[in-house]
């Protein structure tokens, strides 16, 4: 069974194929009106969402399918204590494909192990958000005409910003990519993204706290919201929430040919005055998200006949190490095995398969 939990579940060739389908949908939407007739998409949103949920639903409706689901945990049996595993088994009886957003890292992955229909991760805690990345890639391609040879500035909450983590994973597979990481000390990129993704691929990056200094060299500026809901201490959020505000003066420092992306929602990190700048691509990005989700639904449904579970790669240790990340799904899910994958045999470094939390085991 093919699910998409991480953007790397799709090869670069498959992403090209999805972008071609999306561009064909843009050009000839009528060809696709009946393609999902009698198919049902379940949207299981345990966390708030506007764009992601509605664009998934619009995508399925524009393919001629129907949608069912819930938009908050409180209207599901999760409040009665139902596990993700059981929920995924249930939904497999009622729908042909599901998109799940959850505040626990690894929840959609657990669902994909239980379900007999494809599961799409629509955002899991501060971890990953692969379909936002599909929207981002199509946007960069349409705005800049290429996915190679780009200097990409990532600005704001790089610690909890799941869209940033998935975008880095995706862009590292193209050539000539360089990142500029623009964040306050407290919101720097997590070590698992640095050590698992950037360093092994040898992708160059620089770090700065100044958006002004970075502006002139960027081809893409990816702004993010400081994510109030992920902070344990509200005082930290108050101190950091206005770290960066993109305004017309800062845009004046940027290249003439560049683009500004934001997964949205914006709070106040982009001034409304920037919206009229032709380089502001974030609303076009939201529309591209619908086309890429249409392409992904088509692809996964076409492959859904194969019910064999996706193999778990790498060297795994089961129930020997214990994940201590309170945001990991293994902290709450009933009888879930704690599984770690060996990522660095020399140093004995393992990562939790649900949330990437690091453990070191010395033999």
322 is catalytic: no
Neighbours of 271 (CB within 10 A): 15
Nearest to 57, CA basis, from 98, 90, 24? 98
Distance CA 28, CA 40 (A): 23
Residue 67 or 264 with smaller CB distance to ligand NCD: 264
Residue 51 or 142 with smaller CB distance to ligand NCD: 51
Q: How far is the CB of 49 from ligand NCD (least distance, A)?
A: 6
Distance CA 363, CA 348 (A): 8
One of 52, 87, 133, 139 is an active-site residue; which one?
52
Q: How far is the CB of 155 from ligand NCD (least distance, A)?
A: 13
Distance CA 144, CA 221 (A): 12
Helix (H) or strand (E) holding 283: helix 282-302
Q: How far is the CB of 129 from ligand NCD (least distance, A)?
A: 5
Q: How far is the CB of 106 from ligand NCD (least distance, A)?
A: 16
Residue 255 or 266 with smaller CB distance to ligand NCD: 266
Distance CA 83, CA 107 (A): 10
293 is catalytic: no
Residue 43 or 163 with smaller CB distance to ligand NCD: 163
One of 80, 175, 308, 362 is an active-site residue; which one?
80
Q: How far is the CB of 139 from ligand NCD (least distance, A)?
A: 12
Q: How far is the CB of 41 from ligand NCD (least distance, A)?
A: 17
194 is catalytic: no
Q: How far is the CB of 1 from ligand NCD (least distance, A)?
A: 24
Alpha carbon of 120 to those of 9, 28, 296, 338: distances in Å?
11, 25, 9, 22
Residue 52 or 87 with smaller CB distance to ligand NCD: 52
One of 2, 39, 40, 51 is an active-site residue; which one?
51
Which residues lie near ligand NCD (CB under 6 A)? Answer: 51-52, 123, 129, 132, 162-163, 225, 227, 263-264
Compute the Cα dihedral for 24, 28, 31, 32 and give only its sign.
Answer: positive
Distance CA 60, CA 64 (A): 7
**Phi then psi for 135, rounded to 5 degrees?**
-65, -40
338 is catalytic: no
260, 223 Cβ separation under 8 angstroms: yes
DSSP track, 108-169: HHHHHHH-SS-EEEEEETTTB-HHHHHHHHHHHHHHHS-SSSEEEEEES-TTT-HHHHHHHH
One of 2, 104, 127, 129 is an active-site residue; which one?
129
107-110: long-range contacts (C-beta < 8 A, 24 or more apart)? 107/46, 107/329, 107/333, 108/3, 108/5, 109/5, 109/329, 109/353, 109/354, 110/84, 110/85, 110/329, 110/333, 110/336, 110/354
Residue 18 or 226 with smaller CB distance to ligand NCD: 226
60, 36 Cβ separation under 8 angstroms: yes
101 is catalytic: yes
Residue 22 or 339 with smaller CB distance to ligand NCD: 22
One of 2, 39, 53, 101 is an active-site residue; which one?
101
- Catalytic residues, which ones? 51-52, 80, 101, 129
């Amino acid at each position: 069974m093919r699910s998409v939990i991480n953007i790397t579940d799709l090869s670069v060739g498959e992403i090209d194929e999805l972008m071609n389908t999306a561009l064909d949908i843009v050009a000839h939407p009528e060809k696709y009106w009946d393609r999902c007739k009698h198919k049902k998409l379940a949207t299981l949103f345990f966390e708030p969402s506007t764009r992601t949920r509605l664009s998934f639903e619009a995508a399925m409706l524009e393919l001629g399918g129907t949608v069912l689901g819930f938009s908050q945990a409180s209207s599901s049996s999760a409040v009665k204590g139902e596990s993700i595993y059981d929920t995924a088994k249930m939904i497999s009886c009622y729908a042909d494909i599901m998109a799940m957003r959850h505040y626990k890292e690894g929840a959609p992955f657990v669902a994909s192990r239980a379900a007999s229909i494809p599961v799409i991760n629509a955002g899991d805690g501060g971890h990953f958000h692969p379909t936002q990345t599909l929207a981002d890639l199509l946007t960069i391609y349409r705005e800049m005409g290429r996915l190679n040879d780009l200097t990409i500035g990532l600005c704001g909450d790089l610690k909890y910003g799941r869209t940033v983590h998935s975008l880095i994973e995706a862009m590292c597979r193209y050539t000539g990519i360089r990142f500029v990481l623009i964040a306050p000390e407290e919101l720097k990129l997590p070590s698992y993204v640095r050590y698992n993704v950037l360093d092994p691929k040898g992708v160059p990056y620089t770090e700065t706290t100044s958006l002004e200094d970075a502006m002139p060299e960027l081809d893409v500026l990816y702004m993010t919201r400081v994510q109030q809901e992920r902070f344990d201490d509200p005082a930290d959020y108050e101190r950091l929430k206005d770290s960066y505000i993109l305004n017309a003066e800062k845009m004046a420092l940027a290249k003439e040919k560049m683009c500004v992306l934001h997964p949205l929602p914006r709070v106040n990190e982009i001034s409304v005055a920037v919206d009229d700048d032709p380089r502001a691509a974030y609303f076009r990005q939201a529309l591209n998200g619908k086309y890429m989700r249409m392409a992904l639904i088509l692809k996964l449904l076409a492959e859904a006949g194969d019910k064999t579970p996706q193999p778990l790669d790498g060297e795994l240790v089961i129930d020997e190490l214990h994940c201590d990340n309170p945001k990991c799904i293994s902290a709450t899910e009933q009888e879930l095995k704690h599984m770690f994958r060996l990522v660095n045999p020399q140093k004995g470094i393992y990562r939790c398969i649900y949330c990437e939390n690091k453990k070191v085991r010395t033999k």
